[in-house]
A = this chain, B = another copy of it.
Amino acid sequence: MTTPTELYETHRELLDRAVQAAHERDYWSAFPESPSKSVYGEDAAPAGERAFTALLGKQFPIDVPGAVGTVSTERSPFGIELGVSYPKADPLALVAAARAATPAWRAAGPEGRAGVAAEIIKRINARSFELAHAVQHTTGQAFVMAFQAGGAHAQDRALEAVAYALAASTRMPAGATWAKPQRGTDPLRLAKTTTVVGRGVALVIGCTTFPTWNSYPGLFASLVTGNPVIVKPHPGAVLPLAISVQICREVLAEAGQNPDLVTLAVEQPGDGIAATLATHPDVRIVDFTGSSEFGNWLEANARQAVVYTEKSGLNTVVVDSTDDYRGLLRNLSFSLSLYSGQMCTTPQNLLVPRDGIETDAGHKSADEFGADLAAALDKLLGDPKRAAGTLGAIVNDGVRGRLAEAGDLPSVVHPSAEVAEEQFPNATIRTPVVVRLDAADEKTYTREWFGPVSFLITTDSTRHSLEIFVETVRAHGALTAAVYSTSPEVLAAAREAALDAGVHLSENLTGGVFVNQTAAFSDLHGTGANPAATASLTDDYFVTGRFFALQSRHHVPAPEESHA
């Protein structure tokens, strides 16, 4: 057994560095994003693939307290057979097991819990290739993206949550001595102790597109602040979280803790155990990523809990002018294409003045801009193999349906096309559709079309674009926003507009940084300030609601004077 305290000592340097990075917010990453042999070793890739393949067609090896029977619900967007089955969860048994595991976890203290969490994340990192295959074949992400977004970047986000949880829960000193001067007599002296106590059982509800990246922050923030965690994956993306929970349980048991501190809650689609768990009186924390419909339901009904949701929104790009037209087109076309726009951060609404924009390549009318964007998409996605590497596969029928619906709208600027890929002939791969709309078509563009669907919306002016941006994001939310302008006045107005709308802003991205990507330890994801999310990943607000600081105090004698 390696105790939590020993694990803290083992990982102390990493944790200290993570806390520092979270504080400074410049570039830092703990886990290399490159799946290259020079980084992860000669055998890592084939070993990971073998490990993944060995899981297929079998019952996944994990203990789930009170489970009855098995379920198998996943299908690969790349068309391979998965056939992994999981123990079917009994929600009440999971809550009872979580509660029973809590006291020893409380006693481990923030540092011990952070040590356990760091060990878990390191072991997750060691299984990055296996996890990348699992992410690829549940979400439809291309392999390299699955390795990065589902692996290294998710691990960085996990460590970031650990850093915030550790820093916030140790900011108040565990002990303090209080001596209040008294007139004409000795000071009143009290020794005071502060103990961190978790809020209660935590529930993490995963999504189908980013099962690890979106679940890890809540999972690790709750765990480090003293709470047991029930992980409820989306039925379409169980495997990445099943592997993650397996690792959590393994490390917890080795650390002398009850592995039921982290459990897996798998259901048959329609069982509704997320709702059952989220409204259980002992479930006091809920983290959710997914639809606004269920997110809003959770906020309204999981009243006994603090609820952190990330839902849908209208990610918006305001195009005013540019001094790098090619860079703008290249950057924007990649943002629309990456993972087939199936990111909560993909731009949907591109607001362009009806009279066009000024660029380093001359004035471009709205028509010309649309045609140039379509051409940029075709150039980016012209080679099927490279296209598949960028697009990944369509995750489910909902996305396919919206793609078809958007394709039937009038004024399609760039139609969606099928892409045939050699490695996975049964994969569902499509290029994005871009549709031309007018500012008046708000019925169409004020709902989220999750997937590779974007609208080129013409407005009266950039000022009008900024008004639409603020109004639509305040009303419907957004996780990202971008502006392109060469005018300092327009950029200043866009910054104010983004503050009013409550969304983070990317300005003039024309190079290798994309509006839909955020970096752990530097970029916040979501704000809480608009309806798309109730909190940021990760800041103090995201962690401080997960624990209480409880004090005790008692008299102490005066310290003995030292006689010189």
Residues of A within 8 A of B (CB): 23-27, 34, 106, 168, 171-173, 176-183, 187-188, 190, 192, 194-195, 197, 199, 299-300, 303, 495, 498-499, 502-513, 519, 522-524, 527-529, 536, 539-541, 544-545, 548-555
Contact A179 B26 (CB under 8 A): yes
Beyond A27-B180, A552-B507, whether A541 also contacts B539 by CB under 8 A is: no
A187 contacts across to B, CB distance below 8 A: 27
A549 contacts across to B, CB distance below 8 A: 524, 527, 536, 539
**CB-based nearest B residue for A528:** B548
**CB-based nearest B residue for A171:** B540
Beyond A106-B499, A173-B25, A300-B303, whether A506 also contacts B188 by CB under 8 A is: no
Contact B522 A176 (CB under 8 A): yes
State how many angstroms separate the Cβ of A487 from the closest Cβ of chain B: 14
A519 contacts across to B, CB distance below 8 A: 178, 180
Contact B552 A188 (CB under 8 A): no
Contact A550 B502 (CB under 8 A): yes
Give 5 CB contacts A-B under 8 Å.
A25-B173, A27-B187, A176-B522, A188-B511, A506-B552
User: Once bound together, how far apart are the Cα atoms of A303 and B296, in whole Å?
Assistant: 11
A541 contacts across to B, CB distance below 8 A: 544-545
**Candidate in A23, A34, A187, A512 with the most chain B CB atoms within 10 angstroms:** A512
Contact A495 B552 (CB under 8 A): yes
Q: Nearest 7 pairs between A and B by C-beta?
A: A507-B554, A529-B548, A541-B544, A505-B552, A25-B176, A504-B551, A27-B178
User: Once bound together, how far apart are the Cα atoms of A512 and B171, in whole Å?
Assistant: 29
User: Once bound together, how far apart are the Cα atoms of A152 and B188, in whole Å?
Assistant: 18
State how many angstroms separate the Cβ of A473 from the closest Cβ of chain B: 12
**CB-based nearest B residue for A523:** B551
Contact B168 A552 (CB under 8 A): no
Beyond A178-B519, A192-B25, whether A504 also contacts B540 by CB under 8 A is: no
A190 contacts across to B, CB distance below 8 A: 513
Beyond A171-B23, A540-B540, whether A550 also contacts B503 by CB under 8 A is: yes
Contact B555 A511 (CB under 8 A): yes
Contact A499 B192 (CB under 8 A): no
A300 contacts across to B, CB distance below 8 A: 303
Contact B197 A529 (CB under 8 A): yes
Beyond A178-B519, A190-B513, whether A172 also contacts B554 by CB under 8 A is: no
Beyond A26-B177, A27-B178, A541-B545, whether A513 also contacts B550 by CB under 8 A is: no
Beyond A523-B192, A528-B548, A545-B541, whether A26 also contacts B178 by CB under 8 A is: yes
A539 contacts across to B, CB distance below 8 A: 172, 544, 549
Known: A197-B529, A527-B550, A541-B544. 14 other contacts (CB 8 A): A24-B176, A27-B181, A176-B522, A180-B519, A192-B523, A502-B548, A504-B552, A505-B550, A505-B551, A505-B552, A505-B553, A506-B553, A507-B552, A527-B549
State how many angstroms separate the Cβ of A101 from the closest Cβ of chain B: 15
A555 contacts across to B, CB distance below 8 A: 508-511, 513
User: Once bound together, how far apart are the Cα atoms of A180 and B518, in whole Å?
Assistant: 12
Per a CB cutoff under 8 Å, which of B24, B173, B544, B551 touches A544?
A: B544
A171 contacts across to B, CB distance below 8 A: 23, 540
State how many angstroms separate the Cβ of A20 from the closest Cβ of chain B: 12
**CB-based nearest B residue for A193:** B495
State how many angstroms separate the Cβ of A556 from the closest Cβ of chain B: 11
A172 contacts across to B, CB distance below 8 A: 25, 539
Per a CB cutoff under 8 Å, which of B180, B528, B529, B550 touches A504?
A: B550
A507 contacts across to B, CB distance below 8 A: 552-554
Contact A502 B197 (CB under 8 A): yes
A192 contacts across to B, CB distance below 8 A: 25, 522-523
A179 contacts across to B, CB distance below 8 A: 26-27
A23 contacts across to B, CB distance below 8 A: 171, 173
**CB-based nearest B residue for A324:** B555
Contact A182 B512 (CB under 8 A): yes
A27 contacts across to B, CB distance below 8 A: 178-181, 187
